[in-house]
Amino acid sequence: MFHRAMTLIVAAVLLAGFAVAGVFLHVPYLVASPGLALNTLGELDGEQVIQVEGRDSFEHDGELSMVTVQYAGGPGARVDLFTALSAWLSPSQAVLPEEAIFPPDRSVEEISQNQTLQMDDSQNDAIAAALTELGEEYRTIPIVAGITEGLPAEGVLELKDVIVAVDGQEVADSEATVSAVRERSPGDPVTLTVERDGERKDIELVTEESDDKDPVIGATIGNDIVFPFEVNISVGEVGGPSAGMMFALGIIDRLSPESLTGGSNVAGSGTIDIEGNVGGVSGVEQKMVSAKREGAEYFFVAADSCSQTFDSAATGEIEVVKVSTLGEAVDSLAIIRSGEGLNELPRC
């Protein structure tokens, strides 16, 4: 009896020790949980998520919701072992290594700023893709988006300089600008006509040889997009590019006299580029749970992310539709709206 009692006491002490350690021992892992579901056709803090100025816009029933993942943990706010183990056992959560979101060579501030920039870029790309799908025209303007230290552009070009011409030949976008520079040999001069603060000036640079033997000036050229009317998207503190597809669909709905959804509740996740290509995203398992929790009937997912849909806690409880392009998403919505041919919707 004495030995049995001592065994029970030791076991209880060990269990208590493990419990205390689980609460106070913090681990370098992140817990991913279902996050926000925000209807792009609705309102946030009393304002329309998508606002159009300078063009007729429309409001329709139905929902086209972007969904997010909520992360706990990270540098300076690590989760405890007990929380990580509980999440690992949860069907709706996932445990990731800290480096998946916070690479050790980048600060939290840098990552946050990058997420904000990605959100801004995804909104512009979504507007461009939506207008292309609707047959509306817009303009692109090549601008200086980055400058490499130690190369000719440093101290001469400035961020946001608009590139008007290369050696007197007008350029329409970033691709044309880069091609014009690369027509030279390393060591050749090149003159850029730039617009800065409303004034134009000619800047002569001498190209250098890159690691790939191409002529370079040390400037990253991006595209600024000029739209025929104003579209503003407000989503609060959400960052990253994964809502691009749903933004584009929401914009099309706002600019169309007829509803895209026919009153259906649709959620989804996928990046978008200006040509309407839908790209893969992470966290689909948790996003599907967010969508189901908010009453979505359909979940649109980038084709590249299809493999993530099979292990979600919401698998089998929500209709998953595979999307590769914005046009495919619009076509699928037409099928949902009509209620006919639902078995023909593309599936993962």
Residue 45 has pLDDT above 50, yes or no: yes
Over residues 289-300, the pLDDT tens digits come to: 999 999 999 999
Over residues 189-246, the pLDDT tens digits come to: 999 999 999 999 999 999 999 888 899 999 999 888 899 999 999 998 888 899 999 9
Residue 40 has pLDDT above 50, yes or no: yes
Helices then strands, each counted (H, E), the chain: 7, 20
Residue 176 has pLDDT above 50, yes or no: yes
At residue 22, the pLDDT reads 43
26: which strand partners? 80
pLDDT over 90 percentage in the chain:
70
Select the more confidently predicted residue: 328 or 28.
328
The mean per-residue pLDDT over the stretch 142-163 comes to: 94
204: which strand partners? 191
C-alpha 20/C-alpha 166 separation (Å) is 67
Over residues 271-327, the pLDDT tens digits come to: 999 999 999 999 999 999 999 999 999 999 999 999 999 999 999 999 999 999 999
Provide the greatest CA pair distance for the chain. Answer: 98
Other CB atoms closer than 10 Å to residue 73's CB: what's the count? 24
At residue 123, the pLDDT reads 94
Quote the DSSP letter at residue 340.
Answer: S
Residue 13 contacts by C-beta under 8 Å, 6 or more apart in sequence?
none
The mean per-residue pLDDT over the stretch 28-54 comes to: 93
At residue 318, the pLDDT reads 96
C-alpha 12/C-alpha 333 separation (Å) is 58
Which domains can be identified in the chain, with CATH numbers? Answer: 33-71+107-136+229-344 (3.30.230), 139-226 (2.30.42.10)
C-alpha 49/C-alpha 344 separation (Å) is 31
Q: How far is CA 111 from CA 17, 94, 100, 283, in A?
A: 37, 21, 12, 18
344 by Cβ neighbours in 10 Å (0-12 / 13-18 / 19+) ranks as: exposed
- pTM of the predicted structure, to 2 decimals: 0.81
Residue 162 has pLDDT above 70, yes or no: yes
What letter represents residue 288's amino acid? M
Over residues 85-109, the pLDDT tens digits come to: 887 888 999 898 888 888 877 777 7
> What mean pLDDT value characterizes the chain?
89
Asked if 64 and 291 count as a contact pair (C-beta separation under 8 A), the reply is: no
CA nearest 257: which of 104, 101, 107, 134?
134
The mean per-residue pLDDT over the stretch 55-61 comes to: 95
Q: How confident is the model at residue 185 (pLDDT cuts 50, 70, 90)?
A: very high
Residue 149 has pLDDT above 70, yes or no: yes
Strands 199-206 and 169-170: unpaired
